Amino acid sequence: MLMKIPFFNNKKSKESLHYTQDTQDNTPDHVAIIMDGNGRWASKRGMPRVAGHKEGLSAVVKIVKAAVKCQVKILTMYTFSTENWKRPKPEIDFIMKLPKEFLDIYLPDIIANNVRIEVIGNMKELPAYTREAVQYAIDSTRDNDGLQLNIALNYGSRHEILHAMKEMLADINNAKLSLDQVDEQQFSRYLYTAGMTNPDLLIRTGGEKRLSNFLLWQLAYTEFCFTDVLWPDFSENEFMDALEEYRQRKRRYGGI
């Protein structure tokens, strides 16, 4: 079966879209975003790459607020991948300090918007100060019941799938689970996204058109939107355009 990978038109009008009840009813419940282009944004301006990562923080807040406005239920943002450890150490060190900087500035705003923060990824390999900042955000927003913001931090889908398989096999060996019980639904319970719906829409900024080891299991039937806009420039209007394109599609899940 061929997968059609569509694109949304970056030349659309940037005027804000008017949201009616009909459009809200067809809004994706779960949106995943690969936030790409921070380094290139900075390089184009003669700035160090880390300046792009810092600028990208404000884009995160804009899109979180837009998702709340559009009544999206889950927003998963690819923040740092298991492959990103290959980058220069100064850049990695800077990125690892961004969660605390982000939360120092924006956490009150996030709480005011009734957003609950969760993290998916291997937290054990992160610096202590990064883990502490993220855990503080999780604890501070635990009682919020609005948008769930998943921060994919030190996340890699292949690692997630292997980890889930090992955990499931351990339960089989310990007689907590029988082989006959294993199916897609059961396996999904061992993933970082256990208990969540799969993404309805994936947005990737920055012009690249690949998944980069992001949510490979969960994106099996997700609609894709790619844009050339670099992440720091990705605005509420671009986000609205992506949601509008999603609403124009018919999801068949292998049917007619």
Q: Which residues are catalytic?
A: 36, 84
210 labelled binding-site residue: yes
142 labelled binding-site residue: no
53 labelled binding-site residue: yes
Q: Considering only CA atoms, which of 5, 38, 6 is closest in space to residue 229?
A: 38
Q: Is the dihedral of CA 62, 24, 119, 7 positive or negative?
A: negative
Q: Quote the CA–CA distance of 88 and 73 in Å, as a whole number.
A: 35
Residue 149 CB neighbour total at 10 angstroms: 25
87 labelled binding-site residue: yes
204 labelled binding-site residue: yes
Distances (CA, A) of 81 to 29, 35, 157, 162, 233: 24, 11, 9, 16, 21
211 labelled binding-site residue: yes
Amino acid identity, position 187: F
SS3 content of the chain, % helix, strand, coil (to 5): 45, 15, 40
83 labelled binding-site residue: yes
217 labelled binding-site residue: no
81 labelled binding-site residue: yes
206 labelled binding-site residue: no
| 9 φ/ψ sector (left φ>0, alpha ψ -120 to 50, else beta) | beta
Instruction: Return binding residues for Mg(2+).
Output: 36, 223
Instruction: Return binding residues for substrate.
Output: 37-41, 49, 53, 81-83, 85, 87, 204, 210-212
Instruction: Return binding residues.
Output: 36-41, 49, 53, 81-83, 85, 87, 204, 210-212, 223
